[in-house]
Amino acid sequence: MNLLIELLAFAVAIGVLVVVHEYGHYSVARLCGVKVLRFSIGFGKPLFQWVSPKTGTEWTIAALPLGGYVKMLDERETGGAPIPAEALPHAFNRQSVGRRFAIVAAGPVANFLLAIVLFALVFATGVTEPAAVVAAPASNTPAAMAGFDGGETIVAARTENAGESEPVRSWSDLRWKLLGAAFDHKRVVLSAKDAHGTSEFQLDLRGITEKDVDDDFMSHLGFEPGGGKLTVAGVQPGSAAQQAGLTAGDRLRSVDGMSTDNATAFIAYVKSHAGKPMTLQVERGGAGAAAGKLAEIRIVPQAQRDDATGQQIGRIGAELSTQVPSIDVHYGPIESLQLGARRTWDLAVYSVRMFGRMIVGEASLKNLSGPVTIADYAGKSARLGPSAFLSFLALVSISLGVLNLLPIPVLDGGHLLYYLVEAVTGKVVSDRWQLVFQRAGLACIVALSAIALFNDLARLIHF
C-alpha cells in the first residue's frame, strides 16, 4: 500500500512539475508568435495524441514520463526540408535574441511561480508548526552566549541597526529568519518572552560559515525546540535505565538540577557522562498509585564505543519521545503571497549556494537526490496531508527551476548562456562550438544523474 502511495504521489508530482515547466515555454512562445509543433509530456512512444485544430499543435503523452519537451518550428531541425516563406516569421530561430531568451527562461520561471502559489496556499489555509520556544542551549553556542537559558518564547526578530522587528510566529519562521541573517553574516536582535517579561537577545551570526548552514543549522547555533514534554517511550532490557528504575511513560523533568525538555540536549548530556552518575527528576507515568508523583533517580550511563568517532560515550538504553508545543499559523491572502515569494527566493538562493559548495568540495555530493528519494519523500509527504505534499511539491519545483538555470549546455541555462554571448558579441555561437558544449553538458548531466542514483541506492540499502 505504501509503495502504491509513493508511486502515485511521485507520478502526480512529476506530472504537475513537467506540465507547468513546459507550459511556461509554450505560453511565451505563443505570445512571441512562434509556432509550436508539439507539446509532449514524457519521451518515447506516444500513448495519447491530439492535434489542436486552432493552433495545429500536437499534444502528446509518451511512455516514459520523466520529463517533457516543447518542439517549435525551427529551420535547424527540419532535416533539410524547406519551410514555406509565410511560416518563416514564426520560426524560433528567426526571433530576436530577447524573445528567444524569454521563451527559454519561461520554463524555470514557471516553476518558481508555481512554488510561490503552492506556498501561498499552504500559508493561507494554515499550518500547524512547533512554537518558537527555546530549549536550554548547549554551552559555548551562539544561543548560550546570547543569554538564552531555555524556556523563552521568541516573538520577534530584526537584524542589528535595521528598522522595525518582524514577528516570529513559529519555529519554522524563526529558522528562516536566522538562515537569512546567517547568509548575510549579520547580528540579529531577538525579542523573547518568559515568566519575567520580554527581553532582547543579541545573536552574533557573523562567524557562521556556509559550511555551517545545513540541516543541523539550528543545532549549530544552540537552538532546539523546547517547552515540551520529554517522556520515556521504552526501556531496553538490562540497560542502565532499567537498572535505575526508569519505566515507559515517565516524564523527564530535570537532569542534575537542570530542566530538560529536549531530547537532543538530553542525549548530548548523557553521551558526555559515560560512567558518571547523574540524577534525574522524573514525573511518574503509568496508572498506578505513584502516577504523577515526582521521584529522583540516580543513573550511571554505560560507556560504549561510538562507531562514528571511535570515542567512549554514555548510553542509558531508553527510547525518548518529545511532545513540543505547537501553534496554528494563518495568514491573509496578500501576506501569504509575500511569504510564498520570500520562501521561494530563500530556497532558490540556498539551492544555488549549496550546489556551489558541492562544486568546490565544501559540501558532500551525498546531498544530491534522484528519483527514488523523490518518490520516497513524495509518498511520505502525501501521507502527512495536503499541506505537507504541497510544500514538498513547491520545494521540488524550486529545485527543478534552479537546476534548469544552471549554465550547462542541454539545459535551459546553457541556451540562455548562448543568448547572452550573442547579445554581447552580436554573433551567434557556432554550431560546431554548440556541439562541443552539448557533449560536455551531456557528460555533466550523466555524471550528476549517476551520483544521484548511487545516493538513492545507498540510502535504500544502507551502505
Q: List, for residues 61-74, the tens digit of each pLDDT value.
A: 988 877 888 999 98
Q: Label residue 24 by pLDDT band (50, 70, 90).
A: very high
Q: Sign (positive/negative) of CA torsion 159, 224, 384, 65? A: positive
Of 200-214, 220-234, 331-345, 379-393, the range with the lowest mean pLDDT is: 200-214
Report if residue 85 sits inside a domain. no
Same domain, 336 and 349: yes
Q: How many CB atoms lie within 10 A of CB 368?
A: 19
Q: How many CB atoms lie within 10 A of CB 30?
A: 15
Average pLDDT over the chain, rounded to whole? 83
pLDDT in tens, 294-321: 889 899 999 888 876 778 889 998 888 8
Same domain, 317 and 236: yes
Q: Indicate the number of domains in the chain.
A: 3
Instruction: State the pLDDT at residue 286.
Output: 63
Report if residue 23 sits inside a domain. no
Q: Label residue 288 by pLDDT band (50, 70, 90).
A: low
Provide the b/e sequence for 238-256 (b: ≥16 CB within 10 Å): ebbbeebebbebbbbbebe
Instruction: State the Cα–Cα distance between residues 117 and 126, nearest whole angstrom.
Output: 14
Q: Label residue 2 by pLDDT band (50, 70, 90).
A: low
Instruction: Give the domain range for residue 290.
Output: 229-327
Same domain, 163 and 184: yes
Report if residue 58 sits inside a domain. no
Does 356 score more than 80 pLDDT?
Answer: no
Instruction: State the pLDDT at residue 101.
Output: 94
Same domain, 118 and 155: no
Report if residue 13 sits inside a domain. no
Instruction: State the pLDDT at residue 352.
Output: 83
Same domain, 346 and 366: yes
Instruction: State the pLDDT at residue 75.
Output: 83
Report if residue 402 sits inside a domain. yes
Same domain, 191 and 236: no
Instruction: State the pLDDT at residue 35.
Output: 93
Write down which residue in 271, 302, 327 finishes a domain: 327
Report if residue 49 sits inside a domain. no
Report if residue 426 sits inside a domain. yes
pLDDT in tens, 202-254: 988 887 766 666 556 788 888 888 887 888 888 899 899 899 888 888 888 88
Q: Please name every residue paired with 51 in a beta bridge, in sequence order, or none if there are none.
A: 58
Report if residue 292 sits inside a domain. yes
Contacts of 243 (CB under 8 A, 6+ apart): 299
Task: From 103, 3, 5, 15, select the one nearest 396 (Cα to Cα).
Answer: 15
Instruction: State the pLDDT at residue 455.
Output: 67
3-state helix vs strand vs coil in the chain, percent to 5: 50, 25, 30
Instruction: State the Cα–Cα distance between residues 276 and 156, nearest whole angstrom.
Output: 40
Output the domain CATH number for residue 296: 2.30.42.10
Q: Sign (positive/negative) of CA torsion 430, 435, 437, 438? A: positive
* pTM score of the predicted model: 0.73
Same domain, 213 and 233: no
Same domain, 164 and 195: yes
pLDDT in tens, 75-121: 887 766 788 888 888 999 889 999 999 999 999 999 999 999 999 99
Annotated catalytic residues are 22
Same domain, 396 and 352: yes
Q: How far apart are the first and last CA of the chain?
A: 26
154 and 132 Cβ atoms separated by less than 8 Å: yes
Across the beta sheet with 153-159, the strand order is 166-167, 153-159, 187-194, 197-204
Same domain, 408 and 352: yes
Same domain, 294 and 258: yes
Same domain, 302 and 421: no
